[in-house]
Structure 1
Amino acid sequence: MTTTTFINARLIDPETGTETTGSLTVEAGTIVGRNLAPRGAVVDCDGKCLAPGIVDIGVKIGEPGERHKESFRTAGEAAAAGGVTTMVTRPDTTPTIDTPETLAFVTRRAREVSPVRVHSMAALTKGREGREMVEVGFLLDAGAVAFTDCDNVVTDAKVFSRALVYARSLGALVIAHPQEPVLTRGAAVTSGKFASLRGLPAVSPMAERMGLERDMALVEMTGARYHADNLSAAASLPVLERAKAAGLDVTAGVNIHHLTLNEFDVGDYRTFFKLKPPLRAEEDRVAMVEAVATGLVDVISSMHTPQDEESKRLPYEEAASGAVALETLLPAAMRLVHAGALALPVLWRALSLNPARRFGLPGGTLAEGAPADLVLFDPDVPFVLDRFALRSKSKNTPFDGARLQGRVLGTWVGGERVFG
């Protein structure tokens, strides 16, 4: 049995909401206690932060079909370097993960080459086409942790409601990307003066609210478990608040880019800032940060979406959406801490504890008996990000050349060091 004691650590515990100084002992891959007499290998944290490993939901991997953009090996290495100990991956692959056989393939590939834990979501409808529901029961048996068509909105309310009813009967979690698809189609930025000056096709943030309103009505009708994966607009928050107050089994997440960037960062058509949904107004960004602070928005994720150079080096409206973020998630989130918007335990509640609980995964806590999935990091060390130093195959980050603070010093999965 491998035993390790971490001494002189700032222990960040999102479950108790505390930050304390002390030691943590792990044995055989499990946390066994705090402030015990040191035994086994000793890691001197030198006053740096020790927290549960990040549980990142919505990670895009290029296997199968787009391995040139990202593989399980490169994504796993990037995750470990970013303090992410669990990736929950998306089914928007080629082919779509909509059968037990495809799910078994990606599960096997991840187990073979990734240094971090990987759990896969499956599509909600076959081919993510919104017409025919997948075999939810068989995919659950094969290991799917949730069901989603990603950014393909199921426009047929009857199909979506039937899928929600069936998912509820099996206790399955449904993940949705709320948008009104007709309004959103072809949009590249958020509507407003900036979009008009740039001459770019735009969409109002109300499209997100309209999509969420529809979904909440269907969730109320069916009683399904539901998670909105990528909220970005202040207009959506009252809808979410009402749904939670009504007792619906609903949670929501936000992309780290929508917490730290706004519409003006697009600048002169910089395609690394083209995301889905598009970057919003500063008022929306501030509202989303406040929603995380109060707990209204439950989860912060990277929405890691690798794109190759050819798909980004195009006119803004034609370029692919998305950004890599496994390695930049933690330092970007430190912007919120250094600005005084979020305390570290609150931040880790959204990065680790809440996503672990929502997906029924172990981890997200420093409690005795929890898996020894840990990240040691210095929240203050400054650096300038060089995208070519990222471990992801694709380098499409909006933080290229940005001054950031916060660096991962070590990552452990099941008590075994996988980075640092």
Structure 2
Amino acid sequence: MKKKILFILSLATLAFVSCDKNDDNDGYAEYLVAKPLVISKADFANSVDIIAPRPIDESGKVYTYKDYIFVNDKYKGIHVINNSNPEQPVKIGFIRIPGNVDISVKDDFLYADSLMDLIVLDISNITDIKQVKRLENVLHNNVFWPFEADIIEYENHDYETEILVGWETVTERRLVEEAEKLRNGGGIFFEDALANAADGGTTGQGGSLARFKIVDDYLYAVDSHNINIFNISDLDNPQDLEDVYAGFDIETIFNRGNHLFLGSMRGMYIYDISSPDKPTFVSEFQHGTACDPVVVDGDYAYVTLRGGNGCGALESGLFIVDISDIENPELTKTYPMDEPYGLGIKDEKLFICDGKSGLKVYDKTDIENLKSLNHFKDIITFDVIPLESHLIMVGDEILYQYEYLDDKIKLISQIGLN
């Protein structure tokens, strides 16, 4: 049974840390400002649409399925790219889905979040995508706070007629005295705002930042507190099962065998899915507050922690955790990073999207002494997927693809999404 949540938040409790504001003598500075995106309830109910390619506003997560790449346009929908020739990818369409952040695909059925609803699309004919199902109010806590913003501008909206579907972040010059009052002052009261807002088969592959994961006949979708579970054995008619409470600030999900690895701002949680409809807690690895995706290979979990702003006060870095005893994960080694986001593994290569510090590639043969193979410095990086044939990465509204070499990687194409 889905539960309504009441949110009472204070900007002071979010512990925002300002970005580099370039203070000057006129009393103004630059701030990252988050503004709400709203849509009328009438439009939201009939909002899914397939249109021609359009410029991207803010690139989010990336997902691959067969010869196609799907790039999330944060809170707005999905860009569809034909990647049958990785050297010349072609944008072919845009799926408009308000409030969308994540997708997952199995046997030509695409599952996407639209705020609190789960959308099912038939993509067997990529030129004639059809919506086949909409499960209403099966997801919650699905509008994540823009933790990295310095200021959240929240205006009163009529929740009888409008829905909050996400946030747009922009850099603005503000009078320092007034901005600091907004940063440190009053509470924000959301009276049911977010609650009312909202391997059998061929599956696709997402990056480490994914919150959706298909395992056999089940779709697992994490929100900030729960694992939402859907039986998708009937692909076009998923069944909403009982949620499993998993903790606080859950951000990502990764699967290996009979275990789910959940990345949160507080730690890594491990769940057993031997009974797939009832995940059970196994263990956790705790760390200081930080944004935290995770991938697993062999006896180790690789966790990138991003501190600063709303992600927490912890310094950023790569944490390598020994999970050979799955019930007692232990930290083995840490490496400093600047602002890491997604990461991935292909054989002995470890790929880390280190934000404005670029894409970093390591040989992880010796985890006690990672060897740098490549560092692409002059790009902004966000999410990465290591495929069998090549590497896919998205960042700063650009899609990059690299081919694997014996001891390095080489860029084979890039396409601007805007």
TM-score by length of 1: 0.28
Please state which structure has a larger fraction of its residues in helix: 1
Which of the pair has the greater relative contact order for Cα pairs under 8 Å at 6+ separation? Answer: 1
The structure carrying a bigger strand percent of its residues is: 2
TM-score, length basis structure 2: 0.28
